[in-house]
Amino acid sequence: MINYLANPVRFLKFSKVATPVFGGLALITTIWGLYLALIKSPPAIEHGQSVRMMYVHVPAAWSAMMAYTALTVASAVSFIWRHPLADSAAKSFAVPGTAFTFLALVTGSLWGKPAWGTWWQWDGRMTSVLILLFIYMSYLALWQIIPERKRAARLAAILAMVGFVNIPIIKFSVDWWNTLHQPASISTPGAPGMPPEILWPLLMMVAAYSFLFAWLSMRGIEADIVKSRKSRSHQIPAAKVIIEDI
């Protein structure tokens, strides 16, 4: 399947079907997830109504790391096999990943004020997510400031692979250091977990973010393929036609 979609022509045929499907699923799960999160789910005992910020914050943080992992994989494919479609995919993963990271930081700050009494704390989790935002922005900046596509792809891939070391730091920072941020509630073995009326809205919002990421990525890859084709067509010199009168 991966080899089949590696061809830009076949990918565009696939995306004509897949892109609207992902868009529709993103819309449905977002509406249903927000309904569960804002109306059906109860307030938490410790955080009260402010716990509803979790349904936006946690999926954003997870999606930011998921997007960067996908970006790193695409960058590794580009670096090793130098496939242009992998470059398009990596660039397209970076845009929603940057937005998810920014959203995670903003909502985390808004949630942190009533929960911890502070907007910001330079602890391991918050600082490492902020570093992730800077890595995302640096990655996109490389594509903008380097005009030659192949060179930009090479340098951006190196940055992405080196920056991946920050992902396990984000994941395990609450275990390695004493921080304000609470440890994982559902992904750590032996964690206390969540009641179903809170867990299901959270999982629905995670699905909504995932489908939104897929839709945005597909649209981004499509746009980059079209842009690359136009760029190549402009670089081809026009054929010279000489008309001789006999």
What CA–CA distance (Å, rounded) separates 114 from 201? 21
pLDDT band at 181 (very low <50, low <70, confident <90, very high): low
Dump pLDDT digits (tens) for 139-178. 999 999 999 999 999 999 999 999 999 999 999 987 777 6
Q: Is residue 121 part of a domain?
A: yes
- Give me the pLDDT at residue 139, please: 98
- For the chain, give the percent of residues with pLDDT over 90: 63
CATH number, domain of 158, equals 1.20.120
Q: Is residue 172 part of a domain?
A: yes
Q: What is the mean pLDDT of residues 41-56?
A: 80
pLDDT at 78 over 50: yes
Q: Is residue 60 part of a domain?
A: yes
Q: Is residue 244 part of a domain?
A: no
Q: Is residue 167 part of a domain?
A: yes
Segments forming the whole domain that contains residue 86: 7-178+195-229
The residues, any chain, with a CB within 8 Å of residue 120's CB and separated by 6 or more, are 109, 112, 126
- Total structural domains within the chain: 1
pLDDT band at 236 (very low <50, low <70, confident <90, very high): low
Residue with tokens 């935002």: 133
Q: Is residue 136 part of a domain?
A: yes
Q: Is residue 28 part of a domain?
A: yes
Q: Is residue 13 part of a domain?
A: yes
Dump pLDDT digits (tens) for 83-101. 889 999 999 999 999 999 9
